[in-house]
Chain A
Amino acid sequence: DPKIIQKPKYLVAVTGSEKILICEQYLGHNAMYWYRQSAKKPLEFMFSYSYQKLMDNQTASSRFQPQSSKKNHLDLQITALKPDDSATYFCASSWDNSDYTFGSGTRLLVI
């Protein structure tokens, strides 16, 4: 059984629209993260949360907003989507920033 569930696996969105990427972890971890993998670029750290509190935000744009409704959830809301937002978005979790586990990702295509 997957320990980190990301939904949906694939997502096609129209430029200017808004989407929410879902992430749930069942590892009992206290920290969760979002990373982005774009073509020709290394995986980029976006956010980290610990005990549902934002610890670090490396995303320049306010169009990206993490949402943590429960301690094992960290969703990612993206507004005013642009084609450059096309990427695979990975959720990850850990206990106290060690032993990270990654989800299988959501592949987003913005047209």
Chain B
Amino acid sequence: AQSVTQPDARVTVSEGASLQLRCKYSYSGTPYLFWYVQYPRQGLQLLLKYYSGDPVVQGVNGFEAEFIKSNSSFHLRKASVHWSDSAVYFCAVSITGNTGKLIFGLGTTLQVQP
């Protein structure tokens, strides 16, 4: 069965530091991959997505992610975090040709300390 693992439930970094949030998926084919962010009391907002092509994809607010097929990973990165990046980040996978179902990880809560 397809699954998404975000091994870090919580990550704390200092403002201005670099960031990597880890995501691994389980699927034998080539998936569509997403990172979403959820701010308190709000819905999910798309940060970036990978469908095909260049494995490094750029997203909003300076976020990027790299698809490494050999490792089944899609880690999220940011060179320098801001306090406003504090939120919950979800990695998700969609199976090609399916009925639109997104499979989510448990999420990683990012806390940026001033």
Do residues A42 and B106 form an inter-chain contact, with CB atoms below 8 A? Answer: yes
- Contact with A50, one of B45, B51, B100, B106 (Cβ below 8 angstroms): B100
What CA separation (Å) do A105 and B39 show in the bound complex? Answer: 12
Main secondary structure on B side of the interface with A: strand
Do residues B46 and A94 form an inter-chain contact, with CB atoms below 8 A? Answer: no
Set of chain A residues within 8 Å of B99, measured between Cβ atoms: 48, 50, 55-56, 97
A55, A102, A105: which has the most chain B beta carbons within 10 Å?
Answer: A102
B34, B92, B99, B100: which has the most chain A beta carbons within 10 Å?
Answer: B100
Do residues B100 and A55 form an inter-chain contact, with CB atoms below 8 A? Answer: yes
> Is B94's CB within 8 Å of the partner chain A?
yes
Main secondary structure on A side of the interface with B: strand
Do residues B100 and A33 form an inter-chain contact, with CB atoms below 8 A? Answer: yes
Taking A42-B106, A42-B107, A43-B90 as contacts, is the C-beta distance between A99 and B46 under 8 angstroms? yes
> Is A64's CB within 8 Å of the partner chain B?
no
> Is A100's CB within 8 Å of the partner chain B?
yes
What CA separation (Å) do A35 and B103 show in the bound complex? Answer: 10
Do residues A102 and B101 form an inter-chain contact, with CB atoms below 8 A? Answer: no
What is the number of residues of chain B that contact chain A, defined by CB distance less than 8 Å?
A: 25
Q: Mark B92-113, 1 if CB is under 8 A from A, else 0.
A: 1010001111111111000000
* Chain A interface residue bracket vs B: 20 to 34
- Contact with A42, one of B4, B42, B43 (Cβ below 8 angstroms): B4
Q: Mark A70-96, 1 if CB is under 8 A from B, else 0.
A: 000000000000000000001000100
> Is B83's CB within 8 Å of the partner chain A?
no
> Is B79's CB within 8 Å of the partner chain A?
no
| B interface residues with partner A (beta carbon < 8 Å) | 4, 32, 34, 36, 41-46, 49, 51, 90, 92, 94, 98-107
| A interface residues with partner B (beta carbon < 8 Å) | 4, 31, 33, 35, 40-45, 48, 50, 55-56, 58, 90, 94, 97-105
